[in-house]
Amino acid sequence: MTSRFLAACRKEQVDRPPVWIMRQAGRYLPEYRALRERAGNFLALCTTPELAAEATLQPLRRFPLDAAIVFSDILLPLSALGVAFSFPDNGGPKLASPLSRDSWQALAPPASWEAMEPVAEALRLVRQELAPEVALIGFCGAPWTLACYLLSGGHDADWSRARQAAYREGEALLELLLLLGRAMGDYLAFQVAAGAQAVQVFDSWAGVLPAELYRELAVPALAALASCLEPLGVPRILYLGQGSHLLAEVAELPFEVVSVDWRTSLAEAAAITGKAVQGNLDPAALAADPPTVRQRTKRMLAQAPPRGYIANLGHGIWPDTPLEAVEAFVAAVQEVP
């Protein structure tokens, strides 16, 4: 059975837009919260294949989604480069200290992805359970976004350290970004070997850079990443957070799909990049009552290109989202045409 999701990534004709939700395995689901409790902590949930597979599958049991995305975190594979983030229960992921230039220049590409074997096993377990028409997505963080975390040592409102490094020591930073790009490309190939049928690269903090620096620093590293996947033939999706000013910069990159947030017009993203597009309802919109969610979703669909479109939110779903809003969103897409 063909996957509606994979067909849309390739801009093939589909009966209706495929739909999935970024962070669909997440805290808005009561069954996820129970599983998270059972796992004890976030890291255990990610690194125990049976639990990660279960988290991945939960939203599919509740909503008729067209894709599953393996439950993991963009910072986990950095452990294979010798950089271990901790995931405290409160507040975001943390490094013991932000990477200095000396420490980032000492990073080496991982010799193997053995440490990430639990993710591969979760992918295999999920693929066994999934209906054949539901696509399985692997993912990683984009080099720039990973560098933001590495140089800040955790989440930061302004990502000031990474941005300052971009201006102050751009050449050295580019080396780091290229290293991360090659490593993440390799990591995605490892996920494809375990069953991922498409991959998404999250450049969540793309939008803090001006176009000029994105072109100088982020784009070459994304090109290195994407080229590792070239022989595998799986659709590559680039999530571009706050990237309405970066569409022209990514147009030539070998990604088949660009995923945009609620601040970027779907029509403009399709026209400027020539790629399939994914997105882009504001996660805040799901705070409204179901009829309003349905109406906002219909307006989003009206702006989508007729071919090469995957319905999604513009960013990860928020933990306080009511389930009936998610239902209204998914149903509004599935009623098309």
If the CB atoms of residues 216 and 256 are measured against its own copies, the closer one turns out to be 216
Alpha helices, DSSP H, located in the chain: 4-9, 30-39, 42-47, 49-62, 101-105, 117-129, 143-152, 160-168, 170-193, 211-213, 219-229, 247-250, 266-273, 290-302, 323-334
CA 239/CA 221 separation, integer angstroms: 15
Is 101 annotated in the active site? Answer: no
If the CB atoms of residues 118 and 207 are measured against its own copies, the closer one turns out to be 207
Is 124 annotated in the active site? Answer: no
If the CB atoms of residues 35 and 142 are measured against its own copies, the closer one turns out to be 142
- If one asks whether residue 100 binds its own copies (CB under 8 A), the answer comes out as no
Is 261 annotated in the active site? Answer: no
- If one asks whether residue 27 binds its own copies (CB under 8 A), the answer comes out as no
CA 275/CA 42 separation, integer angstroms: 35
CA 145/CA 126 separation, integer angstroms: 27
Token output for 59? 């939203």
Catalytic residue among 4, 32, 36, 163: 36
**Which residues share a beta bridge with 167?**
none
Taking the alpha carbons of 147, 150, 151, 154 in that order, is the dihedral positive or negative? positive
Catalytic residue among 28, 32, 149, 239: 149
Is 61 annotated in the active site? Answer: no
Q: Restricting to residues 193-222, name those near its own copies by CB under 8 A.
A: 207-212
* Single-letter amino acid code for the residue at 143: P
Catalytic residue among 16, 27, 62, 124: 27
- If one asks whether residue 157 binds its own copies (CB under 8 A), the answer comes out as yes
Q: Restricting to residues 223-282, name those near its own copies by CB under 8 A.
A: 242, 244-245, 262-265, 282
| Residues belonging to the chain | 337
Return the residue of 288, 307, 331, 336 that touches its own copies, per CB under 8 A: 288
Residue with tokens 């399985």: 136
Site size with its own copies, rule: CB under 8 A: 30
Give the interface with its own copies as residue ranges (CB under 8 A).
157, 160, 163-164, 166-168, 207-212, 242, 244-245, 262-265, 282, 284-285, 287-289, 292, 296, 299, 318
